[in-house]
């Protein structure tokens, strides 16, 4: 370690070196001074950052309140005067405003910018900024019902997903059969999923049965499927039901499945078609037909659905059980023969249906009450043989005085309780 010699000044005499002391003795003060300086600098920077952020938040809120106040004033006087170009454009697109106010602002924006420039913006885009300007222009042109709006929206449906989604939303809000036709024409030909375009048509603010009928008769199976599905909205119309029934024989299984599903909500007609669809070669068509037959809740339909308890597809068997459960006690007569089926799944399904409709407890109690009635005894034994679990559950539900009598029923078939 280097040493520093200390010079001592004697009173009235020459200076003399008194000795040495380590140079390190002067470092701590310098080090602490630098540390405190850096700490102060960092604190100051943090304080300035916080103050800047606070000013940004407060200023942003003030600007928002000012814009909101000006917009409210413009809405009250039904005029966009006093709004900036950007504020006017946003007001025209603001879904929270009354439709007539948005329409007024749209006309003012179109008059300010010029429809020629709006059409140019709505036709194409290159950058992200251009994309949103294109969407704004499409909306304004649609609001003012410019003749170029529908062709431009049709073109936009084939653009990238953002523009196509915006175009579909705009078309879905219009009350025009021509706009619905553009939506229908885009199915299978747009960047958007067909399901999304169909959803707009299904919730369209105007009834457009003609558009849907044409779609249901299209040469493309995918487009026919969407059209048939949309016919469910018009199921109470005789012409729609007639077209659905005709489509039950379509060569495409997806279309037949859509028919089966749609006929479930029909108030009348279509029973013969559902009967045929319940025996279709495609399992998902049979499943839809079974559920629709259950939804119709006609007692005689149990005989049509019950054979599906022995279907090769698990999904069809599940649909059949649900459908028969919907029919309630009326399904018991159709289901009972399947307690003796050679198919174990059919037997279990039959018991499950009977359990859902409360028929298992009824049959067992009747067998206890009439121990010499052969038919009632056989019915009880069939349930016990088909599902020991259902039998045990019925015993557990029974009252204590009835439980012992129910346990005796099991003896002839050798099932332990």
In this prediction, residue 118 carries a pLDDT of 82
In this prediction, residue 86 carries a pLDDT of 61
In this prediction, residue 280 carries a pLDDT of 95
Per residue of the chain (417 residues), what is the pLDDT tens digit?
444 444 444 455 444 444 544 544 454 555 557 777 777 888 888 888 888 887 778 766 765 554 555 555 555 555 545 555 565 556 555 555 555 556 556 656 666 677 788 888 888 888 888 888 888 888 888 888 888 989 999 999 998 889 999 999 989 988 899 999 999 999 988 889 999 999 999 999 999 999 999 999 999 999 999 999 999 999 988 889 999 999 999 999 999 999 999 998 887 888 999 999 999 999 999 999 999 999 988 878 889 999 999 999 999 999 999 999 988 888 888 988 888 888 888 888 888 888 888 878 777 877 777 777 777 778 788 877 777 777 788 777 777 777 777 776 755 444 333
Report d(CA 235, CA 262) in Å as an integer: 8
Report yes or no on whether pTM surpasses 0.95: no
Helix residue spans in 264-343 (DSSP H)? 271-277, 283-296, 302-305, 314-327, 332-335
Q: How many CB atoms lie within 10 A of CB 362?
A: 15
Q: What is the 3-state secondary structure (H, E, C) of 165-193?
A: HHHHHHHHHCCCHHHHHHHHHHCCCCCCC
> Sign of torsion, CA 366 371 373 374?
positive
Q: How many CB atoms lie within 10 A of CB 185?
A: 18
In this prediction, residue 415 carries a pLDDT of 39
Phi, psi of 160 (to 5 degrees): -65, 170
In this prediction, residue 91 carries a pLDDT of 54
In this prediction, residue 197 carries a pLDDT of 94
In this prediction, residue 372 carries a pLDDT of 77
In this prediction, residue 74 carries a pLDDT of 52
Q: Which two tokens stand for residue 245?
A: 């029934």
């Amino acid at each position: 370690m280097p040493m520093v010699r200390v010079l001592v000044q004697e009173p009235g005499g020459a200076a003399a070196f008194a000795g040495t002391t380590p140079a390190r003795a002067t470092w701590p003060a310098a080090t602490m001074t630098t540390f405190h300086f850096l700490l102060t600098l960092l604190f100051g920077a943090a304080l300035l950052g916080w103050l800047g952020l606070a000013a940004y938040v407060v200023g942003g809120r003030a600007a928002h309140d000012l814009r909101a106040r000006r917009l409210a004033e413009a809405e009250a006087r039904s005029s966009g005067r006093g709004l900036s170009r950007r504020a006017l454009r946003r007001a025209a697109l603001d879904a929270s405003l009354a439709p007539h106010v948005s329409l007024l602002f749209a006309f003012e924006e179109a008059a300010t910018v010029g429809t020629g420039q709006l059409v140019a913006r709505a036709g194409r885009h290159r950058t992200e900024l251009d994309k949103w300007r294109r969407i704004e222009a499409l909306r304004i042109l649609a609001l003012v019902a410019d003749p170029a709006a529908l062709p431009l929206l049709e073109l936009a449906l084939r653009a990238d997903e953002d523009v196509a989604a915006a175009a579909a939303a705009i078309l879905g809000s219009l009350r025009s059969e021509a706009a619905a036709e553009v939506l229908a024409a885009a199915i299978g030909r747009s960047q958007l999923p067909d399901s999304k375009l169909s959803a707009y048509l299904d919730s369209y603010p105007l009834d457009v049965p003609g558009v849907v009928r044409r779609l249901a008769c299209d040469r493309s199976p995918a487009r026919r499927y969407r059209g048939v599905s949309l016919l469910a909205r018009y199921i109470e119309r005789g012409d729609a039901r007639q077209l659905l029934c005709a489509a039950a024989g379509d060569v495409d299984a997806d279309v037949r499945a859509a028919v089966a599903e749609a006929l479930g909500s029909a108030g009348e007609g279509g029973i013969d078609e559902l009967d045929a669809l319940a025996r279709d070669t495609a399992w998902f068509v049979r499943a839809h037909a079974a559920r629709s037959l259950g939804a119709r809740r006609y007692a005689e339909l149990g005989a049509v659905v019950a054979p599906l308890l022995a279907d090769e597809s698990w999904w069809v068997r599940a649909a059949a059980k649900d459908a028969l459960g919907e029919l309630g006690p009326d399904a018991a007569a159709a289901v009972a023969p399947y307690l003796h089926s050679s198919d174990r799944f059919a037997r279990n399904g039959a018991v499950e249906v009977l359990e859902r409709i409360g028929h298992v407890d009824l049959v067992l109690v009747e067998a206890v009450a009439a121990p010499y009635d052969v038919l009632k005894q056989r019915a009880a034994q069939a349930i016990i043989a088909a599902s020991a679990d259902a039998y045990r559950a019925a015993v557990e539900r029974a009252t204590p005085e009835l439980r012992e009598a129910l346990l005796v029923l099991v003896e002839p078939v050798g099932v332990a309780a």
